[in-house]
Copies of this chain bind each other. A is one copy, B any other.
Amino acid sequence: MKQRTKNRSNLKTVEWKNNVVVMIDQTKLPNKLVFVKYKDYRDVAHAIKTLVIRGAPAIGVAGAFGLALAALQSKAKSKEKLIEDLEKARKILFETRPTAVNLSWGLDKIMKVANKLNNVSEMKKLIIQTAKKMAQEDIETNMKMGKYGSVLFSNNDTIMTHCNAGALATVGYGTALGVIRATKENGKKIRVIATETRPVMQGSRLTAFELKHDGIDVSLIPDTAVGYVMAKGLVNKVIVGADRILRTGHVYNKIGTYQVAMMAKQHKIPFYVAAPLSTFDLKSNPEEVIIEQRKSTEVTQIGDRKTAPDDISVINPAFDMTPPELISGIITEAGIAKQPFEESIKKLFQSRL
C-alpha cells in the first residue's frame, strides 16, 4: 500500500489502474486528500470495513475490483480452483458491510461472469474488464439519475441532504449529490444544507468538502438542527441516497435518515431518495434486513479525543429504515418511482428487461 497526495481536481473515488485499485482514503478527509493503492483483495476488504471507501455504489464497485485483484492473485490452474479462490475472496469482501446491497450485487455480477468461461486466463481478463465496465457504468447511471431527478428541483431551492451520497459515495458524480449537480448544471440556482451526520461525520467531512470543491453553495448543520431549519422555513426539499431499497419502497440509509424524513413530512417538505437499481433488494422483507452495528468508539471518541466517559454502553447502528409513506419519490437511472411504490418499482425493473 503506497500513499500519495494529489491536487483536488480529481475526485475519482475508486479506480483500476495497471492492475492496482486506487482509492481516495475518505477517513483522511477533509484535512488531506490522500490516494491509496491496493494489490491485495484483503486490503480492499479492510478498506471497506474501516470506511476508507464507503457509499453503497462505491463499495459495490470496490467489491468487484476486490474480486478482480483476487483473480490476479490466484495461482489456480483450473477453472474450479479459480472459482474456489474467488469464492473465498467474495466471502471476505461480503462480510465487511452486511446492509448495503450494492456490495453483494457487485460481487455476484463478477462471480456470474467468471462462471461463464472455462479458460483461467480468459476468466481473469473478463473479470477485470467487467469490473472496469461497472465503474464506468456507475458514472453513467448517476448522470441518468441526475437527468431524471433534476426536474423535481426548482430555481432558488434550498435542498437538505444527509450523509454523503455524492461523488465520494460512488465512482463519480454521485446519486443524491449527482441530482444536485445536474440541477445546477441545468442553470437552476440552488443552495444545499448538509447535516453533519454523526457519528462518522460524512456530511461535514465529505459532503461539505465535495460541494465546496465544486463551487456549490453549502451550509453545515449539526444533526440536532434539522427540526430548527425546517421549522424556520429554510429548507424546500430533501434528497438522500440509499444503501438498500425493498420492493415495498422501504429505504435503508445512513442512521438519522428516518428522522430527517419524518421531520420533512411534518413540515410538508418533499423527501426524495436517489439510488441506482443495483441498490434495490426485491426479495427481502423489512424484518429480514440486518442493520449493522458499528463499534462504540465511533461515538465515544473523535480521533484520539475522548468525548464520553470510559466503558459507557453505546448503541451505534449504521443505518435506519425510512418507511415508504415518508418518501415523495425514488429517483433511479430508469426513472422516478412514486407511491404506491410496489407497483411503481416493479414497472421500473420491467422497463429494463
Chain A: interface size category = 35 or more
Across the interface, which residues of B come within 8 angstroms of A234, CB to CB?
A: 315
Number of chain copies forming the complex: 2
- The residues of B that contact A205 with a CB separation of less than 8 Å are 307-308
Which A201-224 residues sit within 8 Å CB-CB of chain B? 201, 204-205, 208-209, 212, 217-224
From 127 to 143 in chain A, residues with beta carbon under 8 angstroms from any chain B beta carbon are: none
Given known A-B contacts A262-B227, A315-B229, A316-B221, A302 and B299 have beta carbons under 8 A apart = no
Query: Do residues B256 and A227 form an inter-chain contact, with CB atoms below 8 A?
Result: yes
- A256-B224 CB under 8 A given contacts A196-B299, A299-B204: yes
A225 touches B (CB below 8 Å): yes
Interface assignment of A306: CB less than 8 Å from any CB of chain B: yes
Q: Are B256 and A306 in contact (CB under 8 A)?
A: no
Contact in complex: A320, B197 (CB < 8 Å): no
Say yes or no: is A303 at the interface (Cβ < 8 Å to chain B). yes
A305 interfacial contact with B, CB 8 Å: yes
- The distance in angstroms between the C-alpha atoms of A262 and B259, with both chains bound, is 9
Contacts A30-B309, A219-B314 given; indicate if A224 touches B255 (C-beta within 8 A): yes
* A86 close to chain B: CB less than 8 A: no
Question: When chains A and B are docked, how far (Å) is the Cα of A231 from the Cα of B326?
Answer: 14
* In the complex, chain B residues whose CB is within 8 Å of the CB of A259: 224, 226-227, 259, 263
Which of B208, B263, B305, B313 makes the CB contact (< 8 A) with A312?
A: B208
A312 touches B218 (CB 8 A): yes
Show the binding face of A for B, using Cβ within 8 Å.
30-31, 193, 196-199, 201, 204-205, 208-209, 212, 217-229, 231, 234, 254-256, 258-259, 262-263, 266, 291, 299-300, 302-303, 305-309, 312-317, 320-321
Q: Give 5 closest A-B pairs by Cβ, nearest first.
A: A224-B256, A227-B259, A204-B308, A227-B258, A219-B313
